[in-house]
Amino acid sequence: MTSTPTLPPSALQPYANARILLFSNAIPGVLDSERTGRFVFEGFLKRLRGISSKENAPGLDTGDFTYEGYLTRGTVLPLTPSQPWDWLAADISWSTSGIRPVSATTPALLTPCFGSVWLGPLSELRTPGLLPSPTRGQLGAFSVTEFGGLYGAGGIGSLTQPLLGERVQAALKPNRVAVVGSGDSLNVLAERHGTTVTTLRSLNPTITARPSDQLPLGSWLFLPKRRAAANADTSTTALPAGFYTPETLATYLGVSLSTIYSWNSSGYGPPFVKLGNLVRYTYEEVELWLARQLELSRG
């Protein structure tokens, strides 16, 4: 059995301002591969800067905010949560101080890794775990790009890391976590946030509900980056609910209009129907086609 080094309490623990939930994956760095571990940390973080459209990079999107700081304590949680906000409970039993926990049954947490963060006064946390008032902190998705850094764990790092904790570099992604309200289903959330049911399932693999089923009230899920809407021609006749035009489908899928027309000619892409001289795609057929592409991409 792998043992975790015993460290003194982090000198930064009294100043910790973040509760962080992170997932490990079967294929490290492949965030949509099977989840193999669930880790919770507290940390001392400071914001660095916002990311502009010219600074996009792996793990960084326009509108993100970069953070750096130190882990102050952590532990491994059961892979299946006891309730949606168990990671925000006040009375968590911590297993390590300042570093990532390691065990024989849970793979190590490696970067890049993804999860969520609550930034705010940790005195606001309660048991059982509940999401504090949004006026007291900020909930967002959290993408960690590096653990350690600067000195690492050896050399001078062997002096600084036990005192400060393991260094972390990450990006906070605002508006990428949704709290489920009354009437919210996968269909409703996909339409509200300009995405697809297939995409929501890929980001939230534990959701097994049918697209039209009410999701557990008060639970939460990850959202994808929202694409900017293309300029629409408001002079055209309104489209009946349940259909895409080639233009709106191209915007929805993030491809060019010429790509959509090429797919139509070659027999690739979602099935379409002809309404006189008009080409239309039903929401259902587009979702089924996307689901098939996701299955094929996973082998």
Determine what percent of the chain falls in helix, strand and coil, rounding each to the nearest 5: 20, 25, 50
> What's residue 239's pLDDT?
46
- pLDDT over threshold 70, residue 103: yes
**Proportion of the chain above pLDDT 90, given as a percent:** 41
> What's residue 233's pLDDT?
41
- How, if at all, do strands 220-222 and 243-244 pair? unpaired
> What's residue 298's pLDDT?
62
C-beta separation of 115 from 142 below 8 A? yes
Q: List pLDDT tens digits, range 151-181.
A: 666 677 667 666 778 899 999 998 899 999 9
User: For residue 12, what are its two tokens?
Assistant: 């930064």
Residues 6 or more apart from 161 whose CB is under 8 A from it?
98, 99, 151, 153, 167
**Of the candidates 270, 246, 267, 248, which has an alpha carbon nearest to the alpha carbon of residue 258?**
246
Confidence of residue 244 (pLDDT cuts 50, 70, 90): confident
Q: List pLDDT tens digits, range 194-210.
A: 888 988 988 898 898 99
C-beta separation of 177 from 220 below 8 A? yes
- DSSP code for 108: -
Out of 55-59, 168-172, 229-233, give the one with best mean pLDDT: 168-172
Q: List pLDDT tens digits, range 67-99.
A: 999 999 999 999 999 999 999 999 999 999 988
CA distance 47 to 66: 6
**Proportion of the chain above pLDDT 70, given as a percent:** 85
- pLDDT over threshold 90, residue 43: yes
Residues 6 or more apart from 73 whose CB is under 8 A from it?
9, 10, 13, 16, 41, 42, 94, 96, 97, 98
3-state secondary structure of 87: helix
> What's residue 172's pLDDT?
94
CA distance 287 to 276: 24
C-beta separation of 136 from 19 below 8 A? no
**Of the candidates 116, 135, 114, which has an alpha carbon nearest to the alpha carbon of residue 124?**
135
Q: List pLDDT tens digits, range 246-256.
A: 888 888 888 88
Rounded to an integer, the average pLDDT of 51-75 is 84
CA–CA distances in Å: residue 100 to residues 35, 96, 138, 177, 284:
17, 7, 23, 24, 43
Out of 98-107, 134-143, 146-155, give the one with best mean pLDDT: 134-143
- pLDDT over threshold 80, residue 32: no
CA distance 188 to 213: 10
> What's residue 1's pLDDT?
39
User: For residue 84, what are its two tokens?
Assistant: 């949606």
> What's residue 21's pLDDT?
98
Rounded to an integer, the average pLDDT of 109-123 is 93
> What's residue 150's pLDDT?
64
User: For residue 70, what are its two tokens?
Assistant: 């130190």
> What's residue 228's pLDDT?
46
CA distance 79 to 109: 13
CA distance 225 to 227: 6
- Regarding pTM above 0.85, the answer is no
Confidence of residue 297 (pLDDT cuts 50, 70, 90): low
The region of weakest confidence among 98-102, 106-110, 257-261, 291-295 is 291-295
Mean pLDDT for the chain? 84
Angle at 45 between CA 40 and CA 48, to 5 degrees: 135
Name residue 8's beta-bridge partners: none
Which one is predicted more confidently, 239 or 175?
A: 175
Number of H helices, E strands in the chain: 6, 12
Confidence of residue 231 (pLDDT cuts 50, 70, 90): very low
